[in-house]
């Protein structure tokens, strides 16, 4: 078969998997649009809604390492097909739910399915594409995810206006089932399975699951690996924590903006992420090194929080935030090149290593959310509006100080990262 046919085929495989990743990202943010409807129909409190939302993130975050192990052993085709079936079933189960338990179970199934994609796509790219294209497709995959996040805002709201939220989730469930069929029919684990010549010299996994797990001992003992883990834990976990939870209440409490107006500032961070995904390959070529990109992303993150927490003492004028949040969202996504270096450091554990490193940002988000929430509650003065707590600027300053501390540590760690031989 010709190189042209192989190019088209591997792009088709990537697109099918990237669409699964897009749908998973879409589900990550949909509850923000329909939270009031769910609260009314199912008599849910804010605590219930928060717990329901967390089901997705716990499943997604803590399944990354197991997904990596499974993709090493059984291949991307089986893992992602099962993931699509789980995600489609979760969407439909969520649509027919009549209470907290059923709805949370649906969200859990969606999270389990969504968890199978990012690591699997990185494994697929490592096998099907030349090494020099790894960063480009990491960026393109991130772009697809951010498109899914954007679809979960205004477009989803419009769809719910035409259909109900239940019918909308059934629709996405059916689409996901169709994608599962396409994945099973078309996706292959390696070029040889389709009659193509191998692109990279990668040995077929012959070890048992026990041997793979024991083989991760070297990964866990590696200080280099944990440096990368802390960097992506801090930079990407901090960005997800800020954009996904804290920026809107900060702006409504400190700057007294309306929720809709505050949401536009969160959109700036997401928009920066889209720009970053498009620029990832270009910036790496310009800087000539993934480690230089990590120094840039960690350094900008540290400077952002130094300015926010120490220089401005938690109060940054809105006109400055317009630019700073966009830059923050753009540069912090450069940390995605971490996956390329981890892949090279542990070539025999591609899926497992990338699965474990992909736990870092979700663990970071969970821990940052807890720490910031702790400081906000500790400094709360008792002020409330419409039954909702109003937190102080001192609380946000103390909470965001955790971003600052970890960002400085991450920036320092980038200077001890070793250059990886090509």
For the full predicted model, state whether its pTM sits above 0.85: no
pLDDT of 197 over the 90 cut: no
User: Which tokens sit at 251?
Assistant: 């702006």
d(CA 33, CA 300): 32
Instruction: Report the range of poorest mean pLDDT among 67-81, 310-324, 362-376.
Output: 362-376
Rounded percentage of the chain residues whose pLDDT exceeds 90 = 32
pLDDT of 422 over the 60 cut: no
State the architecture of 215-417 in CATH terms.
Answer: Up-down Bundle (1.20)
User: Which tokens sit at 203?
Assistant: 């040995």
Tell me the average pLDDT across 279-294: 83
Would you say 252 and 262 are in contact if contact means Cβ atoms under 8 Å apart? yes
**Which three-class secondary structure state does DSSP give residue 417?**
coil
pLDDT band at 202 (very low <50, low <70, confident <90, very high): low
pLDDT of 46 over the 50 cut: no
CATH assignment of 1-195, given 1.20.1250.20, 3.40.50.300, 3.40.50.360, 1.10.10.10?
1.20.1250.20
Residue-wise over 37-57: b if at least 16 C-beta within 10 A, else e? ebeeebebeeebbeebbbbbb
Tell me the average pLDDT across 230-238: 92
pLDDT at 179: 96
pLDDT at 32: 63
Would you say 33 and 42 are in contact if contact means Cβ atoms under 8 Å apart? no
pLDDT of 409 over the 50 cut: yes
Q: How far is CA 296 from the centre of its chain?
A: 20
Q: Say which residue, 244 or 137, is predicted with more confidence.
A: 137
Rounded percentage of the chain residues whose pLDDT exceeds 70 = 86
Instruction: Report the range of poorest mean pLDDT among 48-52, 232-236, 358-362, 414-418.
Output: 48-52
pLDDT at 273: 77
Residues in a beta bridge with 388: 385
pLDDT band at 182 (very low <50, low <70, confident <90, very high): very high
**Phi, psi of 360, rounded to the nearest 5 degrees:** -55, -50
Highest mean pLDDT among 179-193, 210-224, 304-318: 304-318
Q: Indicate the average pLDDT of the chain.
A: 83
Q: Which residues contact 156 (CB under 8 A, 6 or more apart)?
A: 26, 30, 33, 168
The one-character DSSP state at 6 is H
User: Which tokens sit at 400?
Assistant: 């965001």
pLDDT of 39 over the 70 cut: no
* Residue range(s) occupied by CATH 1.20.1250.20 in the chain: 1-195, 215-417
pLDDT of 324 over the 50 cut: yes
Would you say 141 and 118 are in contact if contact means Cβ atoms under 8 Å apart? yes
pLDDT of 1 over the 50 cut: no
Tell me the average pLDDT across 129-149: 82
d(CA 164, CA 170): 10
Q: Say which residue, 263 or 307, is predicted with more confidence.
A: 307
pLDDT at 78: 93
pLDDT of 67 over the 90 cut: no
Tell me the average pLDDT across 387-408: 88
d(CA 184, CA 227): 37
- Work out the burial of residue 133: count CB atoms within 10 Å of its CB; fewer than 13 is exposed, 13-18 middle, 19 or more buried: middle
The one-character DSSP state at 132 is G
Tell me the average pLDDT across 3-12: 85
Highest mean pLDDT among 2-6, 272-276, 286-290, 300-304: 300-304
pLDDT band at 325 (very low <50, low <70, confident <90, very high): very high
């Amino acid at each position: 078969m010709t190189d042209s046919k192989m190019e088209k085929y591997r792009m088709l495989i990537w697109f099918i998997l990237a669409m699964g990743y897009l749908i998973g990202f879409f589900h990550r943010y949909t509850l923000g649009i329909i939270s009031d409807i769910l609260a009314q129909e199912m008599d849910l409190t804010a605590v219930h809604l928060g717990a329901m939302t967390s089901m997705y993130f716990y499943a997604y975050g803590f399944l990354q390492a197991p997904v990596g192990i499974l993709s090493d052993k059984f291949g991307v085709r089986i893992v992602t097909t099962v993931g699509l079936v789980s995600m489609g079933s979760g969407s439909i189960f969520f649509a027919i739910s009549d209470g907290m338990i059923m709805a949370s179970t649906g969200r859990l199934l969606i999270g389990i399915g969504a968890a199978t994609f990012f690591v699997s796509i990185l494994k697929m790219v490592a096998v099907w594409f030349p090494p020099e294209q790894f960063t480009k497709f990491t960026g393109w995959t991130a772009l697809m995810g951010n498109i899914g996040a954007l679809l979960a805002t205004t477009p989803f709201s419009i769809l719910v206006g035409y259909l109900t939220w239940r019918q909308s989730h059934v629709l996405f469930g059916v689409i996901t089932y169709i994608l599962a069929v396409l994945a099973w029919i078309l996706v292959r684990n390696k070029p040889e399975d389709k009659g193509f010549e191998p692109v990279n010299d990668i040995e077929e996994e012959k070890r048992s699951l026990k041997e793979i797990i024991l083989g991760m001992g070297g990964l866990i003992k590696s200080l280099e690996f944990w440096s990368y883990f802390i960097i992506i834990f801090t930079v990407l976990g901090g960005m997800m924590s800020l954009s996904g939870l804290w920026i809107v209440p900060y702006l409504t409490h400190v700057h007294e903006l309306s929720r809709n107006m505050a949401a536009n500032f969160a959109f700036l961070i997401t928009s920066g992420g889209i720009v970053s995904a498009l620029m990832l390959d270009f910036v790496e070529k310009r800087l000539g090194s993934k480690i230089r990109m990590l120094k840039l992303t960690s350094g900008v993150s540290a400077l952002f929080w130094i300015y926010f927490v120490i220089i401005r003492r938690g109060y940054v004028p809105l006109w400055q935030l317009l630019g700073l949040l966009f830059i923050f969202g753009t540069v912090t996504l450069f940390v995605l090149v971490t996956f390329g270096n981890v892949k090279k450091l542990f070539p025999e554990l591609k899926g497992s290593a990338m699965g474990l490193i992909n736990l870092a940002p979700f663990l970071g988000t969970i821990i940052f959310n807890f720490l910031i929430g702790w400081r906000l509650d500790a400094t709360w003065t008792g002020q409330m509006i419409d039954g909702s707590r109003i937190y102080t600027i001192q609380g946000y300053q103390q909470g965001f100080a955790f971003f600052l501390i970890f960002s400085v540590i991450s920036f320092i760690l980038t200077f001890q990262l070793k250059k990886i031989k090509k």
